[in-house]
Structure 1
């Protein structure tokens, strides 16, 4: 019973924090709350035990990366909107960029490790083959991760990564949702992909010419 109560409490918390991010006056508070929740509660407390129990499985790391990527995006939003020292904001922003870069590496690697699961998600009508696009998007995510980590064409890489995740929504998850709107799993995958689009967009924006001033 207490787990059900905690699940509802977490859902309410995310709803309120998400709404706070949308409102300009509370965006910093909302971003801080979501970053703390995903980094401390989801990544460390909830997934920490799973990571220790299944440390030899690549999927464990790519699953954690999905939550870490959201936390990274939230951290960058907080750094850009909070009334904090410019140097601290720059360090937090770079930390978020680095975390997201590592996540991109893991996402791309998962395409190769789990090709048997990734390729069937690609529409069959898309030439030249499902495997080609599964490999191509895997390579693309790895390349984007390297670019973000090394700051070599990092913003272009983040923009292309945003476009890639948007294409997943249009070609994979969106059509699956239309075909089976009652599937909670498909709804959650669409929500996750939408969050990754937003996080990648935030990273790309943070890699543009700095516009933040000292508070």
Structure 2
């Protein structure tokens, strides 16, 4: 039973990793199939030379990262590649934030990419057993927490748009937009500060998974020919898996600290 409990965080990390791999690989397939980048998540200017070829190359890299992630032997390389790709997405948003520092929409773009990149980077460092894994995990969780706070702020700033995304059969959609915004912000504060971090990240992952099921899957079913709807679905899936990764790594760190306080010989690696 003790061994089973000790293995639980690792299994949860692998489940979260599978979600990230599925989301990233699917986004890559959309990029290759369309010859285009992922809308506002990859804001490559339209006048970039050979833009279509670059989009296909980027999509192929995302597919390669996804395949490596599900390969036992090459998983660490896949995690580093996924982290690098998602960090590149984040960098693409920097010019817009610099030009329009008061724009919440531009900050939301950088927050979504940074949240996914931080989760992939934490997993890569954990898998590699890097000496700096602890510092990378702490930094990644702080970044993810800040991103979640921005998710919450965007719900308040764009409450009507957020409400329009909520299924019509749910009552009080504007109130739900505010409620989920507050939940994002509170979870982000907890994750960034370390207060009830594991629980907050798990609840954030559950809420995001709810968005996938209640919001994005029905929209895809209603508009199966819309690349935008498919893109939103796979971004939401990757974000929810990223939150689950934060929860799993946080839980592993907490268990490691508890084990170390009892017996240094029983502490878990990479925590």
TM-score range (shorter-chain normalised) is: over 0.9
Give me the whole-angstrom Cα distance separating, in 1, the residues matched to 2:174 and 2:93: 30
Question: Which protein has the larger Cα radius of gyration, Structure 1 or Structure 2?
Answer: 2
Gaps of 5+ in 1: none
1:109-133 deviations in Å (ceiling 9; x for gaps) = 0000001210111122223x10121
Correspondences of 1:119-134 after superposition (within 5 Å): 119-127=163-171, 129-134=172-177
Which among 82, 98, 101 is matched to residue 145 of structure 2? 101
Which among 184, 192, 196 is matched to residue 141 of structure 1? 184
Q: How many residues align?
A: 209
**Alignment match, 1:213:** 269
Gaps of 5+ in 2: 1-48, 257-266
Give me the whole-angstrom Cα distance separating, in 1, the residues matched to 2:53 and 2:168: 43
**Alignment match, 1:156:** 199
1:167-209 deviations in Å (ceiling 9; x for gaps) = 1011111100000000110000000000011100000001112
Q: Is 1:187 the counterpart of 2:230 in the alignment?
A: yes
Give me the whole-angstrom Cα distance separating, in 2, the residues matched to 1:169 and 1:198: 11
Which among 16, 37, 41 is matched to residue 85 of structure 2? 37
Give me the whole-angstrom Cα distance separating, in 2, the residues matched to 1:125 and 1:4: 40
Give me the whole-angstrom Cα distance separating, in 1, the residues matched to 2:136 and 2:233: 28
TM-score by length of 1: 0.93
Contact kept in structure 2, 1:51 and 1:60, CA below 8 Å: yes
Q: Is 1:178 the counterpart of 2:224 in the alignment?
A: no
1:120-175 deviations in Å (ceiling 9; x for gaps) = 11122223x10121111100000000000111111111111111011101111110
Give me the whole-angstrom Cα distance separating, in 1, the residues matched to 2:228 and 2:124: 30
Give me the whole-angstrom Cα distance separating, in 1, the residues matched to 2:212 and 2:89: 24
Contact kept in structure 2, 1:72 and 1:100, CA below 8 Å: yes
TM-score by length of 2: 0.74
1:83 to partner: Cα distance? 3.4
Give me the whole-angstrom Cα distance separating, in 2, the residues matched to 1:134 and 1:30: 36
Give me the whole-angstrom Cα distance separating, in 1, the residues matched to 2:269 and 2:210: 35
Contact kept in structure 1, 2:191 and 2:201, CA below 8 Å: yes
Secondary structure, aligned partner of 1:25: coil
1:84 to partner: Cα distance? 2.0
**Alignment match, 1:202:** 245
**Alignment match, 1:52:** 98
Give me the whole-angstrom Cα distance separating, in 2, the residues matched to 1:104 and 1:17: 25
Give me the whole-angstrom Cα distance separating, in 2, the residues matched to 1:27 and 1:103: 26
